[in-house]
Structures are given as C-alpha cells and as structure tokens.
Structure 1
Amino acid sequence: MSLAISQCVYSQIQRYSLRRQKPRGLEEQVAIFVATRIFDVGLTAAAAVAAAAAGANTMGVPLTSDMLRHAAIGGAIKAAAMAVAGLIMLAPQNTPLIVLMTLLGTSIGSNALAVVAVANRILGTDQAPNQLIIAAVVASIPLSFCFVYYYGAFRVPITFTSIAFDVLGAYTFVRMAENLGHPICPPRPALVAGAVFGAVFSGAITLLGCCVIGKSRTIPISDFSGNGHASGSALTTCCGNRVHVNVQSTEYARGQGVVGSRNTFTNGTIYNSAHGIGVYWDPGSVHGGLTFNTHSTRDCTTSTGTSNMTRIVMA
C-alpha cells in the first residue's frame, strides 16, 4: 500500500475509534489492516493490468490474456509481500525478523520478488536472470520515495505526485536491463505503462482517503462525572476541516448553603484549516518520513445557560 495512505489508515482509523472515543483492540486493528491490504492487493493488480495494456498498445503488439495474467500476478505479489511484512510487524518480534520484514516491506524486496516470479513464469525457468533482478533493485530507488500533499484534519493524502516516480522507476528498469544485456522493451512503452500504473493507483487511494478516512462522521460526546454530565454530538465535514458542535451539559452546584444545577447549551461550528506536505520512503512505512504541517482553528460556537439554584438560610 502507498506509504502515505498506510500511515494515514493506521493513525486515523486503525488505531483509534473516534465514534467510541477509545483505542481499538488488537483484533479490530488486525481486521482493518487485513481489509485495507486486500484492497491494496486488488488495486495493485488492477493497476498492473492497466499498465500492461497501455504498454502493449504503445508498442503496437497484440494484447494477450497471458500478458494480463502475468501483470496481475506481479502486482499482487508485490502488494502481498508488503502486506505480509506489515502484518507481522504489528506484533512483537525479535530483531532478525524485524530486519527480514523491513526488507520484504520495501520496494527493493517486493519488486525483486515480483520480477523473479513473473520472469520465471514467462521464461519457464527456475531462476530469473540476474540482470532483471539487478534492474529491479536499481529501479526500486525512485519507487521508494513518495511526495504527498495532506489535506484536512484527518490528513487525507493526495498522492498524484507519485506518478512521476512510477514513470521514472519504469524507465530505470528497462534501461538498466538493456544496459546489462537483457532488453525488455523500448523506453516509450515503459514510460506510458508507468504513468498509467501511477494514475490508476494514486487515483484509487486518493478516493479511499477522501471517502473512507476523511468521510463525514458523527462523533458522540458523552462525559459523566460527579460534577455533572455532558451529551451531544460533533459532526465533522470536509475531511475534518469543519466541525458542527451540539452539546448539552449539566453541572451540579453543591456548596455551603447552596444546592442546584446549571444547564449549558453549546452550538456552532469550529473551522479547522489543516494542510501539509511530506516525503515518505519505504522505511517510513513503520515510523518515519519528513512532514511539514500547518494547522489553525477558529471557534465560532456560542453557549447559553440556565440555572436552578436553591439557597438554604439557617434562621
């Protein structure tokens, strides 16, 4: 999964429940992780198929079912490798396993694995050419970075800037393979395929961020204490950039000679302005990256109150 969307999913919907106002249990975190990774595997396979179709059309060669099948398998293997690594790293483990999973969860490890699997299927051998493996490792360098623009209080990532890195990675792969004596295709079809892959993938994960992570949601507000209670809701819109608040609270007054309560009604809108830009790389899929954020808040809520007090006077 895109490193940025992975970070956002973990921090916004996987780890903490806004509706219940408490951290999620490990079982629920794993369930969300698995669901989003299944989406990622399917999306990567679909993007790879679209890229293969675009590359074949640019080269002017007939598109066959084998081409599409190989592309889908390669994309699924790449995404699945990173998903398995991420799932294992949710639980405590020893240092050697961390190193292995970190390698598998990077573009270098997952791309090399995908190239080996696809090359073995196409060439009908048990060992992929070393030239292709080296080319895949070198091409993983630009694919390991991702410039991201974040929008809204839920930090919904807009990752269309990663298309340029997909194009550069595809170009690097075919040119490196050609320089090592194992040509694959001319550079132009590779550039087109990389652009199509990046466009399909970035478009889908951006929609996921806007429609799932940054969707409008109602957050219940409930707080009970010895001094009173509060109940109501906060409706977030526009990726959390606007929060409509409707809260009723009751505070009990107990003092020397005074007994009563005070009711307060708070209504209005809180405006958030949250934006950011960041650079993520593969190790950042655990905890990392360089991000610059700006955030400002304007509170336009108003409160009105009524009270019912009884004063006890000793004669």
Structure 2
Amino acid sequence: MSLAISQCVYSQIQRYSLGRQKPRSFGEQVAIFAATRIFDVGLTVAAAVAAAAAGANAMGVPLTSDILRHAAVGGALKATAMAIAGLIMLAPQNAPLIVLMTLLGTSIGSNVVMVVAVANRIFGTAPNELIIAAVVASIPLSFCFVYYYGAFRVPITFTSIAFDVLGAYTFVKMAENLGHLICPARPALVAGAVFGTVFSFTTTLLGCCVIGKNRRVYISEYSGNGSVSGSAFSTCCGNRVHVSIQSTEYARGPGVSGSSNNFTNGTVFNSAHGVGIFWDPGSVNGGLLFNTYSTRDCTTTTGSSNITRLVMG
C-alpha cells in the first residue's frame, strides 16, 4: 500500500474514531491495520497477475499458469514485506528491529526479495544481473506523486503509473545491459502500465469510498452546566459539513435560575487540496507536501432563554 494511503488510513480511520469521537484502542488499531494490509496483499497480487497477462500478450507468447503463478508469488512477497515493516512500526522498537524495518520497508529491499524468489522459481538461482537490475529499478519505483483532495486529504495516486512504467523499463534494460535478456522493452512498458493502473485505480477508490466517504458524526455532551446534542454530516471528502446542533446552558447561582437554548444550523464549506511527492511507497516515512486549506462558515445560530434573576434592593 502506498505511503500516502497508509498515512491517511492511519490518521482518518485507524487512530481515531470519528463516530465515537475518541482514539481507538491499540487492539482496534492492529485489527484495522491487518485488514488494510490483507487488502494490500490481495491488490498487489491481482495487479501483478494482470501485468503478467498483459506483458505475455504484448510479447506474443502463450499465457500459462506458471506465468500467472510466478507473478502472484512475486506480488504477494513484495506486499508482505511492506506489511511486516509496517507492523513492526506499531510495536516497541529496538535497534535491530529498526534496521529490519528499514530493509523490508524500502522499495529496494522488497523488490530484491521479490526478484530473488521469482528467479529461484524460474531458473533455480538468482543471477546477480537481476539483483542489480532490481536495485536500480527501485529508484523510480520509490517515488510517487500524489494529489490530495478534500478536507480528509483523500489521496489520488494515478500519477504513480508513470513511475511503474519507468521502473519496469529500467529493470529489463538494466538486466539486458548486464547480459541477461528478460524481454523486449514494449512488453515491460505494457506490464508496468497495467500494474500501475490496477493498483492506482483501486487504492484511489479505497481513498474515495473509505477514507473520504460521507460521514455523520453525532454530538452528545452533558455536564452540570448544560448539554450539547446534534449531528454534523460531511459530504464526500469533507468538502461540505452540514451542521444541526442544539445547546442548552443552565443559569445557576445566587438568585438566578433558568436556561438558554441555542440552535445552530447550516453548512461549513471546506476547501483543501495539495500535491505531494512521497519517497518509498512502503512503510518508511518520507515526503514533501504542498497544500492549501480554507473554510467558510455559513451556519446561523438562533437562541431563546428563560432566565429569572432575583435582585434584592
């Protein structure tokens, strides 16, 4: 899962419950983490299988079950390496674990693991030329331009397709230059484009339908001095929040009794957009983000009171 999606899942879903308006327990955080990482592994496998099928078609070779199986194994290993690194970040860390996390969490580490495993399945060994090519190809694969939309900062990752195409091309050309021909450039470009399209489309859909989905937050607060109740409904990505809140404040004190009621209704308009550049679409932090944010409050508040004050004169 790209770092951009991971960060938004953590900040908007995993860490804090908007419905209950309080932080989630550690167990809940781990459960949400596990669910999103299982989703990530499945998505990476599907994207890798689709890329292998497209590459075989572009190369004009028969699509066999072995090709699909090798692609599935490679995708699963890459995504699992990222998931392990992310899981380690949730636990107390020591120096060896930090080193392991860094190794597995980077594109270089996960790509090398994937290439070594698949090469061993196909050739019975992992040629040095392929390992070197995997390291070099990890450079473009480590970058991802992300466009953020809405107050929930929903990430749109279609721009990463170009880096997947460039990474696939770099891998086959580097291996060829080192004397290990994998395939012509065109099938690699097609496979990279298909992988990037499947992965980017699905992760963007996740961002729009899960992170930036319509939300209704119920507000209910009671104290000795009054109460606040109502709800706030946000449209997709939080660009508009419709508010309907009633508050009651009790007037208490020597010679004073009664209460005042206020009703707040209307819409708050949010505008938040940004462009980010993230290094390493794994679990190691990194990135550069430029964003803008503005809000316009179009709510109105009306009130009534019933307060009695006794004045001794």
- Offset, 1:256: 4.1
Structure 2 match to 1:83: 83
Is 2:295 aligned against 1:297?
A: yes
SS of the equivalent of 1:153 reads coil
Whole-Å separation in 2 of the counterparts to 1:242 and 1:262: 29
Cα contact 2:3–2:285 (8 A) shared by 1: no
- Offset, 1:289: 1.1
Whole-Å separation in 2 of the counterparts to 1:283 and 1:184: 25
Q: How much identity, in percent, do the aligned residues show?
A: 82
Structure 2 match to 1:310: 308
Superposed, 1:123-272 pairs within 5 Å as: 123=123, 125=124, 127-272=125-270
Alignment CA distance shift 1:178-1:112 (3 Å): same
Whole-Å separation in 2 of the counterparts to 1:203 and 1:102: 27
Whole-Å separation in 2 of the counterparts to 1:280 and 1:224: 43
Is 2:95 aligned against 1:102?
A: no
Q: List per-residue Cα deviations over 1:138-194 (Å, max 9, x = no partner).
A: 100000111000001111000000000000000000001011111100011000100
Aligned AA (1:236): S
Whole-Å separation in 2 of the counterparts to 1:195 and 1:246: 47
Structure 2 match to 1:7: 7
Whole-Å separation in 2 of the counterparts to 1:197 and 1:117: 19
> What are structure 2's unaligned runs of at least 5 residues?
none
- Offset, 1:284: 7.7
Alignment CA distance shift 1:176-1:7 (3 Å): same
Cα contact 2:82–2:282 (8 A) shared by 1: no
Aligned AA (2:15): R
- Offset, 1:10: 0.9
- Offset, 1:224: 2.3
Is 2:53 aligned against 1:53?
A: yes
Q: List per-residue Cα deviations over 1:51-101 (Å, max 9, x = no partner).
A: 001111111111011101110110011001100111011111101210111
Cα contact 2:2–2:282 (8 A) shared by 1: no
> What are structure 1's unaligned runs of at least 5 residues?
none
- Offset, 1:255: 3.7
Q: List per-residue Cα deviations over 1:111-151 (Å, max 9, x = no partner).
A: 1001111111111x2x3111111100110000011100000
SS of the equivalent of 1:62 reads coil
- Offset, 1:283: 8.0
Cα contact 2:82–2:283 (8 A) shared by 1: no
Aligned AA (1:20): R
SS of the equivalent of 1:150 reads strand
Aligned AA (2:66): D
Aligned AA (2:117): A
Q: List per-residue Cα deviations over 1:187-231 (Å, max 9, x = no partner).
A: 110001000000000000000000001000111112223321101
SS of the equivalent of 1:182 reads coil
Aligned AA (1:267): N
Aligned AA (1:149): Y
Structure 2 match to 1:116: 116
SS of the equivalent of 2:173 reads helix
- Tell me the matched-pair count: 313
Cα contact 1:273–1:297 (8 A) shared by 2: yes
Aligned AA (1:275): H
SS of the equivalent of 2:180 reads coil
Whole-Å separation in 2 of the counterparts to 1:168 and 1:103: 23
SS of the equivalent of 2:183 reads coil
Cα contact 1:19–1:220 (8 A) shared by 2: yes
Aligned AA (1:137): V
Query: Alignment RMSD, CA only?
Result: 1.2
Alignment CA distance shift 1:287-1:261 (3 Å): farther
Whole-Å separation in 1 of the counterparts to 2:240 and 2:119: 50
- Offset, 1:48: 0.5
